[in-house]
Each structure stands twice: as structure tokens, then as C-alpha cells.
Amino acid sequence: MPPPASALEPTRGQFVGRRRELKELRADIDRAGLDTLSGRKAPRARVLLVAGRPGSGRTSLAEELARQLADDYPDAVLRARLTDPDGSRVPTERTARELLDALGVPAPPGAAEDDLTGILRDALSARRALLLLDDATDAEQVDPLLPDTPDCLVVAVAEGPLTGIPDVRPCTLGGLDKAAAVELLARAAGPVRITVDPRSAESLVEACAAHPAALVLAGGWLGSRPKAAVADLAKQIHDMPDEGSPLARVFAHTYASLPGPPARILRFLSLAPAGHVDPHTASALAGCSVSAARTTLDDFVALGLVRAVESPLPQYEVPGCLVPLLKARTESQDRPAEIQLARARMLERTVRLLQSCRAVTEPDASAARRKLAGMPRALRFPGPRAAAEWLRIRRPALLAAARLAVADGELDTLARRLMAALVRALVAHRGTEDAAPELYGIHRLVLDVAERRNLPREQAAALLNLADLDAQTGRTRDALARYRAALDAGRAAGDPYATGRAMESVGGAYQELGDWSRASDWFGRALAQRLARGERTDAARLYGRIGAAHTYAGRYGEALRNWSSAVTGYRRSGDVAAQARALSEMARVQEYAGRPEESLRTCQEAVELARHAEDVRLQAALQLRLADTLERLGDPAAARLHRGAAERMLGEELPQSARLETNGGAAPSAYEIRSASTED
């Protein structure tokens, strides 16, 4: 993910001026703080503050400082943007997770803000790292992210002071000095015209108030018009009616020079999620071809209106300082219906790209691949690797699109389709475990829409998905509450799948909490529903879960009766491997109950079934169980034979303590948003 630098602030190769500010900031690192003066070691990282209005070059200065200091902080240079381009605050939870991802430190999905910031501080406690926190709104955003070690450094970028963080002296930016401003203008416009007419260049700098973003726009306009005179541009900007800041005046001049179609594309870029644009996004927003959108975006780069991002894919960034100006133009020149239609086109295009991204992972003869073949070439990926790379690079924008679609509230049907397609693509390319943090956030968004639209079926599915992730990360009581809420929603929707899954999962949560009686009771309720619907295979699995709960509780008679019913159910369904596993559990319970001879016979029967099922690992595990039982019966020679057979099956690396493990059949996963309206 590229660093969140404003597109109108000079990048590393373009940085000019600010030598005094850089010197002051570097000196501030070693300045004695209040703790040092009082004889105490500083408990936290030093915070340097670069303060200035958007477009003043504040991010560029912070980036240049980070570049110069990188060798002093060899463990990591981390970047995070604390405000979205639309001006909304980025939740600290999301920022902490992004920083942890950059460090390669795992964090449980759904973890609370305090937990995530605590994990982040722990991860940084043994590192020398530099954090660049861009576009901070206030101290409350920055404070939870500060490392608890003076070996780290934080460079914060904000519009004003961060009142509440002690011992921070802001480096406040105004315009560039005259020499640096002329140099920046020359870099954007080309050096010849600036060199031959230095007085006009200085006049243009004065008209732009030496504001870096305004100078980049003015230089871009000149660069695209080789015959235009610098003096003429300076006079035009001087004579423009007062539209507020110098940046607003220069932008108005540049915008007025654009033909109608490019101007429309530019306005609609303010709708791009998280300020990230690719040709598909621009094409969908403006209703033009992908190739035309890319050509226009490249023209905007030359004009200084957007910045090309270094990426394997064509990617562009809309500068935060221009977003309010673009929004104002959109609101004044485009009808609300046109804006909503542009958003709808963008979401629909994103859904189709995600469907294509997922479909390319399917077998060649599958229905998804046949549907993919009928899509336009521009929406198809050459292979799974290219699709996975697109998903990785576009992930921040895709997640932002989902959040914006839900927050908008006017396009909920498209939002639901987008989230369903995003879940499927993430699972297809990364798997549920690796993508769990993103999935958790998406399921919460699904729940928001389902509650807002009173869609109990989707509400139940989202609650089940969230509860599964809670359960997997040890938040069992949170999972239990969500499973119960999913049961209520499933009943309201008349959805037997959701109610059955919820009842079984409630039982699983109670089992995890060690409440065996409640666990077996809830498994029994789920079993009654399965039997009433004639779902014999699921019923057999539930008999096993009830048997496991009774086994944990020491009620061996009840456990054996339920395991026997599980064996019968699997036999009737023809699932030989499952029947063998159930018999092995019966053997375990018989052994616990002090009936080793019965256990031996049952285990031998399970071995034969496993052999018939050609399940080598199951055979080996059962051979080890036989060996243990024979040792307890006083036949070590026979035990060695069975242990040797297991080792031959799986290799000598098999530990002698290996055991066949089962939970009696776990509830199936619910990693799918079950709604007819969200099906591909």
C-alpha cells in the first residue's frame, strides 16, 4: 500500500526548500524534554509535529524527514493516514490494524481498539521504528498509537497543534521561500520559460502566495501549453475574482481550461473510495471507456491534478486538498440523480470485477468460468495470479467502497452485492483464516444494512459469521451472545438453516465454556430439527456432538447411546469414514468406562472400516489407539505390532503420543452471506 502522501505535495524526487524546517525538526529529536530535565527517562516516543494547511507541503516535509532518518530507525518506517479524503476520521482500530499488518504482526479479527493499540505498543517496544501519522485531526487520534519507548520516533502531520500530547513543539508551515518556490514552479513547468523570464516567474509565485500545491497546478498548466507566457498566467491569476485561498484560485483557472468530458471525470473523482482511482473506477464514474479514462487520468497527472502511484497496476491518487474543491463543483454542476447514478455504476463495475476475480479460481468447466467467458475482455483477468495481485493492490479501495456504500444508505442492494462478492473473492484467494480481519469488518457492515433494512435472514447470516470469528479467536461469550441473536433472527426469517446452525453453535459455545449440560441440551434441540427435516447425515453428526458433551461430563452411558446412534446414522448414509470415526469414539468412551475388552473389539471394527474407506491417517491413528488399549490389557507384544503398523503408514516421525482427535463433528462454517439477492 503506497504511503498516503497528497498528490499535490512534491514526492521524494521533487522535494524542494524547507531546509530551515528540516534542521529544526532534526534538532528537536535530541532536545531535552520535560522528563529528561526532571531527571527521569522519557517513557514514550518523541513526537515531532508538522503543522500546516492541506497542500502546504506538510506531508512532503514529513516524508523527506522520514527518508533522511530511515537509517536511524532500521526496524521499520511505518505510515498511516488518520483522516479519509472526505474529511472523516479513520477509526483508531483500523489504523492500528494497518500498522500491525505493515509490521507483519498478527492481530485477532474483531479485536477491540484498546486490544489492538496494546498489541501495537507491545510490538514496537523492542523495535527502533519511525511512525509517520499523516493528517491527524487531534491528539485523541495520535495518543493511543504512541510507542511506549523512547527508541521510537513519531512524526505527526496536522493542521494545528495537538493539544493534549505533552512536550510537542509544532513546526508550522507557510509558503515556500522565493527561491524554492521558483524552483518548484520550474520543475512543474519546465526550466526554460522560468529562466528566461524570472520576473514573471516571481510574479506568478506571488499570485500563488508561494503555496506548493498552487505552484504545482500553475506549473502543470504551463507545462501542458508550451506557447503560453508565464506573465500572462500570472496576470490571469492576479485578475481572478477572489475565490478564497490561492489554491482555490489556481484550481478554478485550471478547471476552467478543461473541456467538458475531462472536467466531468475530474469532478466525479471526488466520489472515488479513499481517494484511490484506477481506470476502471474513473471509467465507471464517468460512463466512458476504460482506455479513455486512463488517457484522461494521465493528462491529469501532467496537469498536477492527480498523482500516479508506483504500482504494478495503473493507480492514481486524488489529493486531499482538492477533494473539497471537486465536491463543490460536483454539487453545483451535477444533479443529485447523476451523482447517484455515477456511484451505482462504480459499485456495479466493482461487483463485476470481484466476480471475475473469484471466478478465475474455479475449474475450467465450472458454471462460474462459463459466465466469466461471457464478460467483456476488460473485466477478465489472465489468470489466478493476476487476479490475486489485483485484489491485494486494490484491497484498501475495495474495503473503502464497501464502507462508503453502507454509509450512503441509498444503494443498499448494490452494497449487499458488493460485500457478498468481496467476501467470496477474499476467501477464494486468501482463505477464511488469512482474510479473517477483513471478513469481520465486512460482516459487520452486512449486519448494519440488514438491521437498517429489516432483513432477518441476512442479519442471521452476518451474526453467524461474526460469531464464528469471535469463537475462533477465543471470545466465546461474545460468540454465544451473537449465536443467540442469530437464532432469533433465523426464527424471524423462517430460515431452518440459520436456526439449526445457531442452535448447534450455541451448544458448541457452551461446550467450549465447559457447561456440558447446556451444550448437550442445545445439541439436542438442533438434532430434533434435523430429524424433523429428514437430514440424517447432519443428525448423525449431532448425535456425535451430544455424545462428546456427555463424555466430557463423565456420563458414559448417555455418551455410548448417542455414539451408537451416530454410528447407525453414518452407516445408513453410507459414510464409511465417518462411521469408523464414530466407532473409535465409542471405543474411547468404553475405555473410560472401564470396559477395555469392548473397547478393543470396537476399535478393531473401526480399523476395518477405515481400511475399507482407504483413509490411511485414520487407520494409523486407530492402530495407535489399539496399541494403547493392548498395553493396558497387558499385551505389550501385540501393542508393538500395532504401533509399528501405524509408523509404517505415516512414517517414523509420527509421535508415539499421537491420538485420534475429534470434536464429535463440528458445525459447518457459515462463511457465506446467504441471500438470494446477493447470489452471483
The number of helix segments (H) and strand segments (E) in the chain equals 31, 8
In this predicted structure, what is the pLDDT of residue 641? 85
d(CA 100, CA 102) in angstroms, rounded, equals 5
Cβ contact 302:224 at 8 Å: yes
d(CA 524, CA 519) in angstroms, rounded, equals 9
In this predicted structure, what is the pLDDT of residue 664? 43
Angle in degrees, CA 458, 460, 462, rounded to 5: 70
pLDDT at 225 over 70: yes
Residue 238 is which amino acid?
A: H
Considering only 236-245, 396-405, 476-485, 560-569, which range has the smallest mean pLDDT? 236-245
Q: Model confidence over 325-352: pLDDT tens digits?
A: 999 999 999 999 999 999 999 999 999 9
Helix, coil or strand: residue 115: helix
pLDDT at 2 over 80: no
Between 108 and 242, the more confident residue is 108
In this predicted structure, what is the pLDDT of residue 244? 78
Quickly tell me which residue has 528566461 as its cell. 196
Give the model's confidence band at 621: pLDDT under 50 very low, under 70 low, under 90 confident, else very high: confident
Q: Establish how many alpha carbons lie within 13 A of residue 426's alpha carbon, considering only the half-sphere containing its beta carbon.
A: 25
- The b-or-e profile of 425-447 (16+ CB within 10 A means b, else e) is bbbbbbebeebbbbbbbbbebbb
pLDDT (average), residues 198-221: 92
Taking the model in full, what pTM does it have?
Answer: 0.84
d(CA 524, CA 503) in angstroms, rounded, equals 9
pLDDT at 199 over 50: yes
Give the model's confidence band at 613: pLDDT under 50 very low, under 70 low, under 90 confident, else very high: confident
pLDDT at 422 over 60: yes
Between 5 and 164, the more confident residue is 164
pLDDT (average), residues 656-660: 42
In this predicted structure, what is the pLDDT of residue 14? 64
d(CA 426, CA 358) in angstroms, rounded, equals 8
pLDDT at 227 over 80: yes
pLDDT at 63 over 90: yes
pLDDT at 675 over 70: no
pLDDT at 680 over 80: no
Between 24 and 631, the more confident residue is 24
DSSP 8-state symbol, 305: S
Cα-Cα-Cα-Cα dihedral of 98, 101, 105, 106, to 10°?
90
Cell numbers at 658, concatenated? 499421537
The residues, any chain, with a CB within 8 Å of residue 493's CB and separated by 6 or more, are: 456, 457, 459, 460
In this predicted structure, what is the pLDDT of residue 619? 82
Q: What are phi and psi of 310, to 5 degrees?
A: -65, 115
pLDDT (average), residues 502-519: 96
Q: What are residue 307's DSSP bridge partners?
A: 317
pLDDT (average), residues 470-496: 95
Give the model's confidence band at 429: pLDDT under 50 very low, under 70 low, under 90 confident, else very high: very high
CA separation, residue 307 to residues 210, 277, 304 (Å): 20, 10, 7
Please give the share of the chain, as a percent, with pLDDT higher than 90.
66
In this predicted structure, what is the pLDDT of residue 243? 67
pLDDT at 424 over 80: yes
pLDDT at 662 over 90: no
